[in-house]
């Protein structure tokens, strides 16, 4: 009788709880309420860090980072207070660092972080070593970051990009072009001929710098980046056989109708890819997101390196870049800030950032498919790197944009005329 009464009492309590609307315990780790660990255990409040972000709050990357911050708090108890500063962060951060504004973490272009802000930043070498971080991520980018800072490590790169020939796979298929055949200048010209025959202008161009980028890439392939930097600083273009050969390559493309004419403004020139008018462009891979966002195109994309042109640096060299995190030297939350950096640049959240940005993941163990897999494979095969514009930006006072664009537009009939115009600037 006592057992029966106990059983009835237990049943009454169960129904009473149900009538009060008590929620069942989460059945999946991802359903854990805020303030609890994935296992459902309460997480202690472990303070907060302040993060100035280069993203705008409505951007896809920002949305992933915000979600990651919430997951980070649920796992660690550390709150990440994010201030969305946008691209203007590069006009704000130096003064903020000098005045020791309460910032524990920020991001910007990784070269700028390493070179321009490093007097105010923490060398992250010890944190990287302590956490075994270098074994988890693409090694080349950490080495580049150290190169920018003479061996110290002031920035952790993320959202990695590379550069080369970005192409419309639909256009290549329509023209019967095998991307693997573009492994030399002759292979590139043959592909251009087939694309033109199929109704495409082979190369898109815009007035935002892509003509000089293309010329500089060919030049670096022929003579190496260090020699390009020497020309940029001191002139001597008319005496450089490589500079003449690169100009003759552009003239060959121009005279055969293989480049967009007239050159479009930026970004309309590159949008011709999305409108199925042109087939390829030589730029960093972020041009794909720009075209997708600007045109709504649904074409299939592909990526291959700029081919070897017989110089000292072959297709295993490319202009690469990234965004980069920095931690102010005065921050009292450097370990927590680095913990959040690692949270974002490895595992699940690194994969999500790569997906929304169409960039290579940082984490070498993150598997990719399609276009991102092509980009990641290209990065993994690199043995060296080019700076932006492949060395032709070395002289801050002479860029030669006007002269190079004039070469593409037919202002100079011969390579010699073009080179003389370049030298006249010195």
Write out the DSSP string of 37-58.
-TTS-B-----EEEEEESS-TT
Alpha-carbon gap, residue 426 to 424, rounded angstroms: 6
Indicate whether 367 pLDDT > 70. Answer: yes
pLDDT (0 to 100) of residue 181: 98
Alpha-carbon gap, residue 276 to 175, rounded angstroms: 13
12 burial type by CB count under 10 A (0-12 exposed, 13-18 middle, 19+ buried): exposed
Domain boundaries, the chain: 46-162+321-364, 163-319+388-423
Please give the structure tokens belonging to residue 255.
């005279």
CATH topology classification for 46-162+321-364: D-Maltodextrin-Binding Protein; domain 2 (3.40.190)
Write out the DSSP string of 230-299.
HHHHH--GGG-HHHHHHHHHHHHHHHTT-B-SSPBPTTHHHHHHHTTSEEEEEEETTHHHHHHHHH----
- With a CB cutoff of 8 Å and minimum separation 6, the contacts of 370 are none
Percent residues over pLDDT 90 in the chain: 89
Alpha-carbon gap, residue 320 to 326, rounded angstroms: 19
Which uninterrupted H or E stretch holds 84?
strand 79-84
pLDDT (0 to 100) of residue 8: 38
pLDDT (0 to 100) of residue 37: 58
Indicate whether 2 pLDDT > 80. Answer: no
pLDDT in tens, 53-95: 999 999 999 999 999 999 999 999 999 999 999 999 999 999 9
Locate tokens 């290549």: which residue? 172
pLDDT in tens, 378-412: 999 999 999 999 999 999 999 999 999 999 999 99
CATH number assigned to the domain with residue range 163-319+388-423, chosen from the 4 options 2.40.10.340, 1.20.120.450, 3.30.390.30, 3.40.190.10: 3.40.190.10
Indicate whether 7 pLDDT > 70. Answer: no
Give the mean pLDDT of the chain. 91
When pLDDT is averaged across residues 214-219 and rounded to a whole number, the result is: 98
List, in sequence order, every residue forming a beta bridge with 283; answer none if it has no partner.
Answer: 164
> How would residue 17 be classed by pLDDT, with cut points 50, 70 and 90?
very low
Percent residues over pLDDT 70 in the chain: 90
Alpha-carbon gap, residue 392 to 219, rounded angstroms: 9
Say if 46-162+321-364 and 163-319+388-423 have the same CATH topology: yes
Q: Taking the model in full, what pTM does it have?
A: 0.84
pLDDT (0 to 100) of residue 410: 97
pLDDT in tens, 256-267: 999 999 999 999
């Amino acid at each position: 009788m006592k057992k029966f009464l106990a059983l009835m009492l237990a049943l009454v309590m169960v129904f009473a709880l149900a009538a009060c609307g008590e929620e069942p315990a989460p059945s999946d780790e991802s359903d854990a309420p805020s303030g609890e660990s994935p296992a459902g255990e309460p997480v202690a409040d472990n303070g907060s860090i302040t993060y100035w972000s280069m993203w705008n709050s409505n951007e896809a990357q920002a949305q992933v980072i915000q979600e990651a911050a919430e997951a980070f708090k649920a796992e660690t108890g550390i709150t990440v207070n994010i201030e969305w500063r946008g691209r203007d962060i590069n006009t704000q951060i130096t003064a903020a660092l000098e005045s020791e504004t309460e910032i524990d973490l920020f991001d910007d272009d990784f070269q700028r972080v390493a070179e321009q802000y490093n007097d105010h930043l923490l060398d992250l070498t010890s944190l990287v070593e302590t956490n075994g971080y270098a074994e988890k991520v693409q090694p080349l980018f950490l080495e580049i970051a150290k190169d920018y800072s003479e061996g110290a490590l002031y920035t952790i790169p993320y959202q990695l990009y590379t550069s080369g020939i970005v192409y419309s796979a639909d256009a290549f298929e329509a023209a019967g072009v095998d991307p693997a055949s573009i492994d030399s200048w002759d292979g590139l010209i043959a592909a251009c001929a087939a694309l033109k025959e199929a109704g495409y202008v082979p190369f898109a161009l815009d007035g935002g710098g892509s003509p000089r980028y293309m010329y500089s890439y060919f030049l670096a392939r022929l003579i190496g980046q260090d020699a390009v930097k020497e020309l940029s600083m001191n002139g001597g273009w008319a005496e450089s056989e490589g500079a003449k050969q690169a100009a003759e390559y552009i003239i060959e493309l121009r005279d055969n109708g293989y480049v967009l004419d007239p050159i479009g403004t930026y970004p309309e020139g590159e949008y011709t890819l999305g409108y199925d008018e042109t087939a390829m462009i030589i730029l960093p891979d972020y041009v794909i997101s720009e075209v997708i966002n600007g045109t709504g195109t649904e074409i299939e994309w592909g990526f291959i390196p700029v081919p070897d042109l017989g110089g000292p640096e072959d297709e295993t060299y490319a202009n690469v870049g990234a965004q980069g995190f920095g931690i102010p030297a005065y921050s009292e939350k450097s370990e927590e800030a680095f913990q959040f950096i690692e949270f974002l640049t490895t595992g699940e959240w690194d994969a999500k950032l790569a997906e929304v940005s169409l960039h290579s993941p940082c984490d070498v163990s993150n598997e990719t498919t399609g276009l991102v897999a092509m980009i990641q494979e290209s990065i993994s095969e690199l043995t060296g790197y080019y700076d932006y514009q492949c060395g032709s930006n070395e002289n801050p006072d002479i860029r030669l944009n006007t002269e190079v664009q004039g070469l593409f537009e037919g202002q100079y009939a011969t390579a010699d005329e073009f080179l003389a115009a370049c030298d006249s600037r010195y």
